[in-house]
Amino acid sequence: MIETPALAVVVPTFNEAGNVVELLTRLRAVLDGIAWEVIFVDDDSADGTGQVVCREAQTDGRVRLIRRIGRRGLASAGIEGMLATCAPFVAVIDADLQHDERILPEMLRMLRAEDLDIVVASRHLAGGGIGDWGRERAWASRIATKLARTVLKADLTDPMSGFFMLRRDLLAELAGDLSGIGFKLLLDIFATAPRPLRCRELPYTFRLRMAGESKLDAMVVWEYLYMLLDKSLGRYVPVRFIPFALVGGLGVLVHMVVLWLIFIGMAGGFVLGQTIATLVAMTFNFFVNNLLTYRDRRLRGWQLLRGWISFTLACGLGAVANVGIATYLFHSTPAGGGWWVLSAVAGILVGAVWNYAVTAVYTWNQPRRMGRI
């Protein structure tokens, strides 16, 4: 019989081909004596990360690969990797060797011995460090950490850590409620847990990335705020509706400017103005939502055209209702005054809810449960 792994190490990867072999070498050395497996969750990297993992798996059955196509996201990759194992203990670690794999056995020992839910590797505990970080990044990290405390139910020195180990039971319990958005999976786990987690931290020093480059960009900041929003308001509304509504708000501005230009500025008819404004706002909303709200399922290239067409078609009915309701109200309210604004807003509102519900399914192929992976 093949021994069942006690520990699964989940490694989200995106263009990490140059780091896989070295990471495996180090895992083999440090986890000697433990029954373990490693699961790479690769978002179809163009640099051949998946192939490198498969090659390694030819000679080591403990190496596994999940290949995700048309998907992005560190947190959701971590979740899916953890769900793919039945090992009782699961760790998440970066592929680029910035996290110190040498503390893995101690993390496992603590989890087992102290009956904890989770052990977090911390850079901010005595004995740990952030290594050679520029002043800007250290500063940004401090602000993000402060923000994190608003959703956190625990006193963590490093809630932004991407390196931790937990009981699989805990993950199984929370999986259905995690946001799975962006980079900060640990925070997601803590914010989602219905009870304070039994947790300990272990210090380590953040190292320099070995090969390749960081995927942390400006968008990650948006995703972070998005995740915090989800954790505070997500209980009441589907998570994506929040950015969708925000983008919709911007769309209303675009709409009003165009309507004003045509109706007031060019003395075109109200119906013509409202129709053109709806089209322009719709296109604007499609592109911004594709970039922000659905960043993790972003449509590109030709898909973009298909998406725009489906978005426009799906919103077509919404737009008909929009223009119809607005026109009806416009004609049944007194001429002059500000009534035209109210008529337009009513039309937009009906259209917006419809747009969200329909495009979530048809344009971005959103699964039934909103917001999650």
Choosing among Mn ion, ligand GDD, none, which partner's interface includes residue 14 (Cβ < 5 to 8 Å by kind)?
ligand GDD
Strand pairing report for 164-167 and 89-92: antiparallel
Among 98, 92, 84, 94, smallest CA distance to 118 is for 92
Min dist CB 71 to ligand GDD, Å, is 8
Which CB atom, from 200 or from 209, has the smaller least distance to ligand GDD? 209
Nearest Cα to Cα of residue 44 among 65, 59, 60, 58 = 65
| 14 near ligand GDD, rule: CB under 6 A | yes
The amino acid present at 192, given as its one-letter code, is T
Stretch that binds ligand GDD, among 6-14, 26-34, 106-114, 354-362 (CB under 6 A): 6-14
Residues 19-58 within binding reach of ligand GDD (CB under 6 A): 41-43
12 sits near ligand GDD (criterion: CB under 6 A) = yes
Q: Are 242 and 327 in contact, with CB atoms under 8 Å apart? A: no
Least CB distance to ligand GDD at residue 144 (A): 8
Residues forming beta bridges with residue 202, ordered by sequence position: 121
Give 103's DSSP letter: G
Smallest gap from residue 75 Cβ to ligand GDD (A) = 8
Q: What is the DSSP string of 116-167?
A: -SEEEEESSSTT-B--S--HHHHHHHHHHHHHHTTT--S--S-TT-S-EEEE
Judged by CB, which is closer to ligand GDD: 226, or 270?
A: 226
**Residue showing the smallest CB distance to ligand GDD in the complex:** 162
Reported residue count of the chain is 373
In whole angstroms, how close is the CB of 20 to Mn ion at the nearest point? 14
366 binds ligand GDD (CB under 6 A): no
Residue whose pair of structure tokens reads 């919404």 in the numeric block: 318
Query: Which one of ligand GDD, Mn ion, none interacts with residue 16, CB within 5 to 8 A by kind?
Result: ligand GDD
Q: Which does 12 bind (CB under 5 to 8 A by kind): ligand GDD, Mn ion, none?
A: ligand GDD
Q: Phi then psi for 248, rounded to 5 degrees?
A: -60, -40
Q: Does residue 182 touch ligand GDD according to CB under 6 A?
A: no
Dihedral angle, C-alpha 54, 58, 64, 67, nearest 10 °: 20
The minimum distance between CB 78 and ligand GDD, in angstroms, equals 8
**Tokens, residue 224:** 């972070």
The listed partner (Mn ion, ligand GDD, none) that binds 286, CB under 5 to 8 Å by sort, is: none
Q: Cα–Cα distance between 279 and 319 in angstroms, integer? A: 8
Question: CA 198, CA 319: separation in Å to the nearest integer?
Answer: 51
Q: Would you count residue 96 as binding ligand GDD (CB under 6 A)?
A: yes
Kindly list the residues in this chain that would bind ligand GDD in the complex (CB under 6 A): 12-14, 16, 41-43, 72-74, 77, 94-96, 98, 160-163, 183-184, 209, 214-216
